[in-house]
Amino acid sequence: MREFDYRRAVDVSGALALLDADPEARFLGGGTNLVDLMKTGVERPARLVDVRELPLNGIESTDNGGLRIGATVTNSDLAAHPEVRRRYPALTQAVLAGASGQLRNMATVGGNLLQRTRCGYFADVTKPCNKRVPGSGCPAVEGEHHNHAILGASEHCVAVHPSDMGVALTAFDAVVSYETAHGPGELPLAEFYRPVGDTPHLETALPPGALITGVTLPPAPVAADSRYRKVRERASYAFAIGSIAAALGIEDGVVREVRLAFGAVASRPWRARTAERALTGAPANAETFAAAADAELAAAKPLPHNGYKVTLMRNLVVAVLTELAEEAAR
Amino acid sequence: MAPPPSSTSSAVTLKINGDKHTLSVDHRTTLLDALRERLDLTGTKKGCDQGQCGACTVLLDGRRAVACLQLAVAAEDREITTVEGLAEAGQLHPVQQAFLDLDGYQCGYCTPGQICSAVAVIEEHAAGWPSAVTDDVRPEVGAPPLTADEIRERMSGNLCRCGAYVSIVQAVARAAEARMSQEAAV
Amino acid sequence: MTTAPTRKHFVGTAHTRVEGRDKVTGAARYASEIPFDRLAHGWLVLSTIARGRITSVEDTPVLAMPGVVAVLHHGNAPRVDTDYTGLLGTAPDPTAALFQHDRVPHAGWPVALVVADTSEQAREAAEALVVHYEQEPHDVDFTAEHPDAYPLDSHLPAVAEKGDLEAELAASAAVVDAEYTTPEEHHNPMEPHAAAARWDGGRLDVVDSNQGTLWVASELANLFSLDPASVRVRSEHVGGGFGSKGLRAHQVAAVMAATVLQRPVRVVMTRRQMFSLAGYRSPTRQHLRLGADADGRLRALEHRCLSLTSTVHEFVEPGADPARTMYDADAHHTANHVVRLDVPTPTWMRAPGEAPGSFALESALDELAEKLGIDPIELRVRNEPALGPVSGLPFSGRNLLACFREGARRFGWADRDPRPGLRRDGRWLLGTGTAAASFPAGAAPSTAAVTAEADGTFTVRINAADIGTGARTALTLVAADALEAAPERVRVRIGDSDFGPAFIAGGSMGTRSWSWAVTVAAEELRERLALGAAVPPEGITVRSDTTEAVGALARKERHSFGAQFAEVAVDVDTGEVRVRRMLGIFAAGRIVNPLTARGQFVGGMTWGISMALHEEAVRDAGTGGHYGADLAGYHVAAHADVPLVEADWIDDPDPDDPVGIKGIGEIGIVGAAAAIANAVRHATGVRHRHLPIRPDRVLMAGRHA
């Protein structure tokens, strides 16, 4: 870890000024990912601007019945918030499925969205990685990739996004707000992460020097009946090998509205819009759930050792939607 | 506005177990290394230094956190409680006593982290926080009973390689019961 | 008038750890936690190539960095002597003979040590150090065919054969012929390897985390050509070892730097470095062939185990050994082979040989039971040998069937429907499985000193190591019984090479070996005091040495035994496996402290869960190094993976041991993974022969079943 300057910001404009859009400077939130990456040499910032104490730690209802979540709200406070638990229970479940109690107390909403992949090649500076060193190659394609992407990847990078929270936020059409020295902006989460293509090192559509100030969840009554299921290689405290955020609204046995997003299958939380379209208006039963999953996963391009994820995600779609349908029927 | 000239170290005042310690820290110094290498508070353990084991768990403003990913310079003005600060006037904290009585450890290296984590788990549960194994997280349902499965999930950020989990869970349950019966009595 | 106090038996009575208060308050100090004036911090630099040679180390720019005081490498490091045989009868692993040449035999080979005033400075300087290599092609592929594999002896011969295997297989009513594999596994004690070295009044003083201070001290004395009396190694509290904490690169690096700089130097391995420097359990490929009559009697047993070692040092994981204890057959062939690859040297890891070997053997027995339509416990009953199947020696005690009877009763085995795939709880399929366990029971020579102090207390000095086993407390109880004194009056001091020779914490032999020595000295002291000897101010000290007594033990098959039971739940939609309960019943000698002994058994069984479902180090073929070498990439069981695991024991004192002890540190893991794999088979109908039983394996096996 190289030596670095440290500044603590007290307001958003001050934070932006301290960062000064310097490519060698980073905002420091909870530090749970950034400090780890600094220790392993993946990140070598010259200056940290501590934004943890910015007045962005509130969760408020919006006029239209959504929620606005400040960027420095900790994962724990987000998960525990009564309105999140009431209106978007899958978001609480997703956050609680991530990391550990200690890390959730430290990690922030903004930092969670910006966390880097846990690909073992990315995290090891002695190995090639296009995301870390553009042009150095992607050893995962031919090497270890049993927890890598099946959707939306490219030959240049097959890493997956590790966030659980982001999967639920994606299902609920969250919009990311940010500030820059030139003014504020917004990005729907669906457009927040850039396609991998041949630039896996360029991960988000945020302008240089931008500070995430919050996330807005539009009203989504269907989200009140939502669920997050995560599969991993131990029962807790592990990253997903596959996860799903789902919400299901049924009327007279027919799917009125459905939200589906997948985790650990792509470089970003994966909104399963093809499956959603196939399901909307269809009878709510296991056959249509499976057919919708197959439609979504038809685009999957598994590698030699991660083809199980196609089966896993199909099974998860059927299992979780079936559970939600059964609960709705009760 | 140009930022002031950069520096790579700062004087900080850390509030640890009720005492203030003023020291100059390299910005790279984590709270964990500040405790262990600068302040001779070695009860907080370094198991992985990457937030992957929980051995360095301390309480920051009453909430559990891993000290290995917390920069010391960024911990200024926060109330830091380490395992050395749990006992009062020589009287072990009920969680410490339960670990001792029920053999909730073996080598002892993950123990301070487990104990600090358990202290916080009991508080988080009392505050009504759900967990990943809570069936229904809606607030109307209220906090789930602190079953063995709830304790296991909530303590999962603390690895114990000796495999003392069974007795650790029993110790946390005993300490939690003691706290609840104490509250009921008040 | 005084009356003689009634003699109490503290051995066998639960006692909380004597150092417990220090451990729960954070007062217990481990190796990296002892402060020294002018302490410098060493940071190891490891090779990034898997095979080749170092062409240059660019130390000049690094020496100019803030706080850096030295860069040691093969061009400037002190020379060490490796031409000796160590205390454990082996030559030193060259991995610990740091910086002696330019060869790189594996990824993660130590190539330099950077020393600086602070750990932050040392880490940054180590990262900045540029090392140039001439790279050569490497071979790290254990899964390939290896015609150059060769048999390698461990404490037993590599190969043992009797009878005509092919003929007996041909004559068998049922045959199991299967390959089982276990992956590379790492000890990962929670406390990373750490040592601080300094020269103090002409003596080398090392504070270290190890499983035997005299062992490490003698290795250091040999390596650095020092008078053994001038080396002192202390290790008061040890944050887990499991076989990994012997002589390692960190101690040698600290001694080199302390010698060169003439100031105290501490070297701590990072978690990632431990994956290359701390040893590990070799992966295994095991081929089992069992043949039996229709009534279950074994006619043929073949167990061949292939493991790997490095190109610089030999180590064998003897997975075929358990079959030599467990089951006889008319034709009985066992063999342990190794292949040399460009990887670090493996080492002992909790139940070496028995842990992976029992997975294969006890899975194969389960397969055979199913083929024969015989209950798996009954199959073991029908194959209970009267004598050692290979040695022909009598057993000193073999209470395996008693363990199965008690375990079956408590676990509810009698109600089990053997048909697979029938039981369901919501989305979970349920199944149960069992397996047998064994581990050698031995003792090794040790010395002890017991002092009657003038204040009426006693001090025991023995160079034992308490790596979490509870040895310190057990020895307190053993001494209390021998002295006929309350444990509160007995102070046990351990972990100091100045206390003289004693066996290491290893082989499940520590507490037995030390207890023997403590008992001999304490009993003699009690007799002297009983004669009315007055205690002078310096106390009365009696010393013991068990070399002769241990050497006089008759040759027998000496083992602990156990029966493992597991219930699992399997979600076939996701491939997740959860262990719902486990029970182990053990015949493992006299139990000194039930409180801590239960922790040893349950801890071992918890390792079994971890081995069955989680643990696997992944080696990247391209670079030859690890993929995901940390505790997020290498999963050990977490709280949520471990249900109520219960362990208990039957009365089984060793008649040839003064206290009746056998040893309990390792048997808990033996057979545990097999019991879980057998339960997964019972739950799903699918046999898993490759560990760990990951979700993807369950999911895809279900597809093809």
The total of structural domains in chain C comes to 3
Domain presence at residue C146: no
The answer to whether B163 contacts C607, with C-beta atoms less than 8 Å apart, is yes
Residue A257's pLDDT is 98
Amino acid (1-letter code) at residue A9: A
Residue B73 near chain C (CB below 8 Å): no
Task: Give dist(CA C79, CA C508) in Å, integer.
Answer: 35
pLDDT beyond 90 at C283: yes
Give the phi and the psi of residue B176 in degrees, each rounded to 5.
-70, -40
Q: How far, in Å, are A119, A127, C634 from residue C628 at the CA level?
A: 8, 11, 7
Q: Which residues of A52-61 are buried (b: 16+ CB within 10 A; e: fewer)?
A: bebebbebee
Residue C467's pLDDT is 98
Query: Where does chain A show beta strands of DSSP type E?
Result: 5-8, 25-28, 47-50, 59-61, 67-70, 175-180, 183-188, 211-217, 226-232, 240-251, 254-263, 270-271
Residue A237 near chain C (CB below 8 Å): yes
Separation in Å, CA of B50 to nearest CA in chain A: 6
Same domain, C265 and C284: no
Residue C629 near chain A (CB below 8 Å): yes
Same domain, C495 and C608: no
Of B52, B149, B163, the CB nearest to C632: B52
Task: Give dist(CA C97, CA C106) in Å, integer.
Answer: 15
Residue A139 near chain B (CB below 8 Å): no
SS (H, E, C) C300-357: EEEEEEEEEECCCCCCCCCCCCHHHHHCCCCEEEEEEEEEECCCCCCCCCCCCCHHHH
Residue C194's pLDDT is 98
Q: Are the CB atoms for C105 and C312 separated by under 8 Å?
A: yes
As annotated, the residues of chain A forming the CATH 3.30.43.10 domain(s) are 5-50
Task: Give dist(CA C614, CA C66) in Å, integer.
Answer: 42
> HSE (CB half, 13 Å, CA atoms) of C479?
32
Q: Which residues of chain A have pLDDT under 50?
A: none
pLDDT bucket at C282, cuts 50 / 70 / 90:
very high
Residue labelled with tokens 């972990």: C495
Residue C639 near chain A (CB below 8 Å): yes
* Nearest residue in C to A313, CA atom: C574
Report chain C residues whose CB lies below 8 A from the CB of B133. Answer: 640
Residue labelled with tokens 């099974």: A315
The per-residue pLDDT for range A180-204, each reduced to its tens digit, is: 999 999 999 999 999 999 999 999 9
**Which of C501, C561, C514, C508 has the alpha carbon at shortest distance from C348?**
C508
Q: Are the CB atoms for C656 and C553 separated by under 8 Å?
A: yes
Last residue of a domain, one of C227, C255, C277: C277
pLDDT beyond 50 at C5: no
Of A126, A309, A319, the CB nearest to C625: A126
What percent of chain C clears pLDDT 90, i.e. is strictly above it? 96
Last residue of a domain, one of C551, C576, C597: C551
**Which of B156, B158, B161, B165 is the best residue to mutate to test the A interface, defined by the most A CB atoms within 10 Å of its own CB?**
B156
**Average pLDDT over chain B, rounded to whole?**
95
Interface A:C, Cβ pairs < 8 A: 103
Give the phi and the psi of residue C619 in degrees, each rounded to 5.
-100, 130
Annotated active-site residue C666? The verdict is: yes
CATH 3.30.43.10 fits A5-50, yes or no: yes
Task: Give dist(CA B157, CA B134) in Å, integer.
Answer: 17
pLDDT beyond 50 at C2: no
Same domain, C65 and C85: yes
10 Å CB burial of residue C456 (0-12, 13-18, 19+) is exposed
With contact defined as 3+ CB pairs under 8 Å, the chains touching C are: A, B
Name the more confident of C406 and C705: C406
Query: Where does C21-167 show beta strands of DSSP type E?
Result: 40-46, 52-58, 68-73, 103-104, 110-116, 130-135, 150-151, 159-162
**Which of C288, C271, C218, C226 has the alpha carbon at shortest distance from C247?**
C218
Report chain C residues whose CB lies below 8 A from the CB of B47. Answer: 190-192, 271, 631
Give the phi and the psi of residue B44 in degrees, each rounded to 5.
-80, 125
Separation in Å, CA of A162 to nearest CA in chain C: 12
How far apart, in Å, do the first and last CA atoms of chain C sit? Answer: 81
Helices (H), C36-118: 59-63
The tokens for C32 are: 């990296």
Please provide the DSSP assignment of A248-270 as one string: EEEETTEEEEEEEEEESSSSS-E
Residue C130 near chain A (CB below 8 Å): no
Same domain, C158 and C268: no
10 Å CB burial of residue C426 (0-12, 13-18, 19+) is exposed
Taking only residues 41 to 70 of chain B, the set having a beta carbon closer than 8 angstroms to any beta carbon of chain A reads 49-51, 54, 57, 60, 63-66, 69-70
Q: Are the CB atoms for C569 and C613 separated by under 8 Å?
A: no
User: H or E element: which one contains C583?
Assistant: strand C576-587
Of A46, A102, A237, the CB nearest to B65: A102
Residue B10 near chain C (CB below 8 Å): no
Residues counted in chain A: 330
- Say if residue C487 is preceded by a cis peptide, omega within 30 of 0: no
Domain presence at residue C15: no
pLDDT beyond 80 at C313: yes
Same domain, C264 and C121: yes
Residue C564 near chain B (CB below 8 Å): no
Task: List Cβ neighbours of B82 (8 Å cut-off, separation of 6 or more).
Answer: B16, B17, B35, B41, B43, B44, B58, B59, B112, B116, C26
Bridge partners (DSSP) of residue B66 are: B57
The tokens for A244 are: 């799903």
Separation in Å, CA of B157 to nearest CA in chain A: 5
The per-residue pLDDT for range B61-117, each reduced to its tens digit, is: 999 999 999 999 999 999 999 999 999 999 999 999 999 999 999 999 999 999 999
Phi-psi region of C675 (alpha: psi -120 to 50; beta: other; left: phi over 0): alpha
The answer to whether B152 contacts C639, with C-beta atoms less than 8 Å apart, is yes
pLDDT beyond 90 at B185: no
Residue C90's pLDDT is 85
pLDDT bucket at C703, cuts 50 / 70 / 90:
low
3-state secondary structure (DSSP) of residue B69: helix
The per-residue pLDDT for range A144-168, each reduced to its tens digit, is: 999 999 999 999 999 999 999 999 9
Report chain C residues whose CB lies below 8 A from the CB of B84. Answer: 25-27
CATH topology of domain A227-329: Enolase-like; domain 1 (3.30.390)
The per-residue pLDDT for range C422-437, each reduced to its tens digit, is: 999 999 999 999 999 9
Residue C20's pLDDT is 98
pLDDT bucket at C19, cuts 50 / 70 / 90:
very high
CATH number for the domain spanning C79: value is 3.90.1170.50
Same domain, C337 and C409: yes
Same domain, C181 and C268: no
Domain presence at residue C525: yes
Task: Give dist(CA C361, CA C304) in Å, integer.
Answer: 10
**Which of A16, A37, A47, A102 is the best residue to mutate to test the B interface, defined by the most B CB atoms within 10 Å of its own CB?**
A102
Same domain, C386 and C352: yes
**Once rounded to an integer, what is the mean pLDDT over residues C360-364?**
99
* Nearest residue in C to B27, CA atom: C120
Residue C177 near chain A (CB below 8 Å): no
The answer to whether C631 contacts B159, with C-beta atoms less than 8 Å apart, is yes
The answer to whether B137 contacts A93, with C-beta atoms less than 8 Å apart, is yes
Interface B:C, Cβ pairs < 8 A: 181
Residue C636 near chain B (CB below 8 Å): yes
CATH number for the domain spanning C585: value is 3.30.365.10
Same domain, C123 and C176: no
- Strands C174-182, C194-200: pairing is unpaired
Task: List Cβ neighbours of C144 (8 Å cut-off, separation of 6 or more).
Answer: none
* Nearest residue in A to C609, CA atom: A234
Last residue of a domain, one of C535, C551, C567: C551
Amino acid (1-letter code) at residue C158: A
Q: What is the pTM of this model?
A: 0.98
Same domain, C272 and C297: no
Domains and their CATH numbers in chain B: 9-85 (3.10.20.30), 94-185 (1.10.150.120)
Residue A293 near chain B (CB below 8 Å): no
The answer to whether A3 contacts B10, with C-beta atoms less than 8 Å apart, is no
Task: Give dist(CA C393, CA C387) in Å, integer.
Answer: 6
Q: Which domain holds residue C522?
A: 20-29+444-551
Amino acid (1-letter code) at residue C225: S
Task: List Cβ neighbours of C469 (8 Å cut-off, separation of 6 or more).
Answer: B106, C505, C510, C511, C596, C600, C665
Please provide the DSSP assignment of C129-198 as one string: -EEEEEE------SSS--TT-EE--SSS-SEEEES-HHHHHHT-SEEEEEEEEE-BB----SSPPEEEEE
pLDDT beyond 60 at C4: no
Q: Are the CB atoms for A115 and A273 separated by under 8 Å?
A: no
Same domain, C464 and C423: no
Task: List Cβ neighbours of C405 (8 Å cut-off, separation of 6 or more).
Answer: none
The complex's ipTM works out to 0.98
Residue B131 near chain C (CB below 8 Å): no
Q: Looking at residue A283, what DSSP letter applies?
A: B
**Which of B109, B150, B151 is the best residue to mutate to test the C interface, defined by the most C CB atoms within 10 Å of its own CB?**
B109
Same domain, C222 and C75: yes
